[in-house]
Amino acid sequence: MPLLHERLTFLSHVFIICFTQLLSIDPEPSGVGLVVIGLSLEVKVVANCLCALQEIWGLEATKSEEAATERETLLSKPLIYYLLNRFKEFSEWAQCAVLELVSKYVPSDSDEIFDMMNLLEDRLQHANGAVVLATIKLFLQLTLSMADIHQQVYERIKAPLLTLVSSGGPEQSYAVLSHLHLLVMRAPYIFSADYKHFYCQYNEPFYVKKLKLEMLTAVANESNTYEIVTELCEYAANVDIPMARESIRAVGKIALQQYDVNAIVDRLLQFLEMEKDHVTAETLVLVKDLLRKYPQWSHDCIAVVGNISSKNVQEPKAKAALIWMLGEYAQDMQDAPYVLESLIENWEEENSAEVRLHLLTAVVKCFFRRPPETQKALGAALAAGINDFHQDVHDRALLYYRLLQYNVFIAERVVNPPKQAVSVFADTQSSEIKDRIFDEFNSLSVVYQKPSYMFTDKEHRGPFAFSEEIGNLSVGAESTDNVVPAQRIEANDKDLLLSTSDKEESKGSSHNDSAYNAPGYDGSLAASSQADLVSLDYKPTPNVPSATFAIDDLLGLGLPATATPPPSPPVLKLNTKAALEPNAFQQKWRQLPIAISQVHFTFST
């Protein structure tokens, strides 16, 4: 420690760095001497002392009571005032370190807060963005308990932040915009009048443009929505495909905020008329979300969506959205059963499990609304789904088959129950996470938009995922490298239909070397025609009576099934060999006096 008394600042400077490195060898030495002795030295040494102490506390704060005592010593009023009085002598880097330390100090009264803010107010005009952000963090922390003053701080820091966005390079603009975005999420009304500052420039990199679009979405309100959406629509027509996609998503987010929904829906429907694949794909996804929140717009949206050919929609998420609308609004879309049937015919060519899952659900929903037209498609979908190599698709198809076999009306209540409009979507970030990020202002947490523990602790780290614009990984599509060929599947669907006790008895005769083989379709169901999977003729078989398939047995619990009364004979019987044009069939179907609700449907195995 005597080396600290040397007049050669450089030696003292190096010694403090070396002292910090000694902690990796001997974590016991105390750093309190750095505080006392460093006060009489030059500002460079003082800055190094502060950084060394903060590193020491970072290593010992949760383990050592001595480290906590040292922190209280350093955060005392005399020492904080000493640092602030010499503040302008420090370098820009050292000023940031001092401001970070002062932000942890708790003033005794409001007068002390105002004195500190008046002393540091000129730092808001500093040319260095790091100093400005550190000062802003201090002001925000000091005024958290003073609501009126806290709002005035937002007004005061708005101009310096907007200046930094426009005056620096793209890297600085992105960092400052990230902090602005956090502030806008907490007080959007303060920045709503300055929305034009977030318009994109043609020469800005994509990551800056994307963040500006998020800013426009955050500041949108009743007074500026029309201007913002108009600007976003211009971006949607851009030749830059990633930019066009993000612009359409931004328009959809504003619509979900219930600002000028009428005009925004009209704009979105106009996107579908642009006949650009990427624009159509993004718009379909947004229209699906809009219909979930605003069901009253279904008539206008379905009228336009019904004119889109499914062959022109190739992206998995967009195709899944289109299929969802075909199933959800099958009664309003005249060609819905036939479009679904054409998609089922290309089942083997569809690589996305998400699309196949949506297709299964949509064709079942369509069957409940228009059974005669969907009977053949439903049988083909269930047969293909049960034979699918993907576990989720196979299980869902088997679930639907069992439900329909048990009772059609119960199946409808399970698959297509009455729905309420969605108020909040699951991807909305919780307020707790936002508050945690705000506490870590002026750090990477703001740039990453997640608390530090999510990207520093190993147990919270998630797998790295490429974005759609930068990486080559497609969202929703499956890699063909890991696909199990259908002919190699050895499992038997009959095992899946057994109870727990029956499965135990059958294990002795089965041999399966792999940890998991996707269950395959062994031909027991294919022996009968696809029409038999969903038939209007009741033909009970003695081997597998439909009443034995209880809902509890779907879980493989082996519980006894409750007997169901025999179904009544069918009122309507279809001619399976009939041949009619779709339009002629529609006309004849509407002329039938028998209501759909009066028809009793039964299923044969």
DSSP states along 528-567: S-HHHHT-SS----SSS-GGG--TGGGGT--PPPPP-PPP
pLDDT at position 554: 38
pLDDT at position 385: 94
Cα 243 from chain centroid?
19
* Token pair listed for 369: 């609304």
Angle, helices 129-142 vs 110-120, to 10°: value is 170
| pLDDT over 60 at 409, yes or no | yes
pLDDT at position 23: 52
Torsion angles phi and psi, residue 492, rounded to 5:
-120, 130
Residue at 351: amino acid letter: N
pLDDT digits (tens, 9 = 90+) for 192-217: 889 999 999 888 999 999 999 999 99
Cα 471 from chain centroid?
18
The residue assigned the tokens 């027991």 is 524
CA distance 270 to 366: 27
Question: 310: pLDDT confidence band, cut at 50, 70 and 90?
Answer: confident
| pLDDT over 80 at 364, yes or no | yes
| pLDDT over 50 at 507, yes or no | no
User: Which of 35-44, 314-323, 430-439, 559-568 is the most confident on average?
Assistant: 314-323
Share of the chain above pLDDT 90, in %: 36
Question: 12: pLDDT confidence band, cut at 50, 70 and 90?
Answer: low
| pLDDT over 70 at 593, yes or no | no
Q: Identify which has the larger pLDDT, 167 or 557.
A: 167
CA distance 236 to 267: 11
Share of the chain above pLDDT 70, in %: 66
With 0.75 as the threshold, say if the pTM is over it: no
Residue ranges per domain, the chain? 224-295, 309-426
Residue at 158: amino acid letter: K
CA distances from 579 to 355, 496, 576, 585, 589 (A): 30, 37, 9, 9, 14
pLDDT at position 572: 56
Q: Mean pLDDT across the chain, nearest whole number? A: 75
* Token pair listed for 352: 């996305």
pLDDT digits (tens, 9 = 90+) for 86-119: 898 888 988 998 998 888 888 888 999 999 999 9
CA distance 191 to 179: 13
CA distance 377 to 364: 9
CA distance 298 to 44: 67
CA distance 375 to 17: 78
